Structure 1
Amino acid sequence: MASMTPSRALLTLTTGLTCLLAAGGALIGMLLGGALVALGAAVGAGAFGAAGSFVVRRRAMAHFAVAQRQAGQRGYAEGIAHGVLIHVTAYEAAVFPRTGPAGVTDEERVARRTIAYRMAALDEVPHSVREAAANALALLDRTDREGAEEALTRLAATVRREYARP
């Protein structure tokens, strides 16, 4: 059995409603004038229902496509912003290693710095996240531990606030 996608669910719903309209037209026609009137009423109501469901289905599918595209763009941007946070935090771990000064090589520190700067510079990153990341990176470059911790907290809050909106 095929999975129930939004387009399949909408097709099933509109087909069912068209059949119900045709059956209702047949019942009303039978009550009003017999078999011939019932047949005409069923065909008329079914045709009206089919035309209406075609229009409704086209509009609904257009709205589904727009909503799906917007959700994809939002999810991509949110993932990029979280990636910025992760890479800036990784750079912070290289600047202030927990295992002591010998915990991170200079090459690794430079590599983490480069990746963090590249991620923060992506066009998809919202301006507020980019600005908070730039502040955090500047403080990390100056090895200001307290300032960097506060800036990373602001960056995390900015990422969370940016995508917590409905």
Structure 2
Amino acid sequence: MKLSPKAVASVESPIGPITLIAQGEKIVRVELGKKARAEGSSKVLTEAKKQLDAYFSGKLERFSVPIDAVGTEFQKSVWKEIAKIGFGRQISYGEIAAKIGKPAASRAVGAAVGSNPTPLLVGCHRVLGSTGKITGFTGAKGIKTKAWLLNHEQIEFRP
């Protein structure tokens, strides 16, 4: 099977540069804090850039660009659950574990959240510790970026 050509674009945002990588007409990766040289073009990259601009200007609450995230079945089940979390809402690692039928898997859920290949589009910043505390974030500037995103969405949290 021949893979579709890869396309890459970067956008500036209030949290720093964001690089979007598409394979065919699906986003396969979002890299926070990284600016890459543009490569190829695609309708999905153009749409993702528009949606990110709208999100950061407060006009978009749910991303609708198609995503094709590669991961294990467990990771995909976690990312699918994260994608259901609405703008301005939060959930704990334990709550996700319970929702996917693995109530004792909070730490594994945390690892899956941390390996989310499409942050922002799949809002892993909305996942907090059981006490509402920020426990980590893999994006550029780490917890500072997560705190900015939570404040942007007016989500209460403990630093």
TM-score under structure 2 normalisation?
Answer: 0.26
Bigger radius of gyration among the two:
1
Looking at both structures, which has the greater relative contact order when contacts are Cα pairs under 8 Å and sequence separation is at least 6?
A: 2
Which of the pair is proportionally richer in helix?
1
Which of the pair is proportionally richer in strand?
2
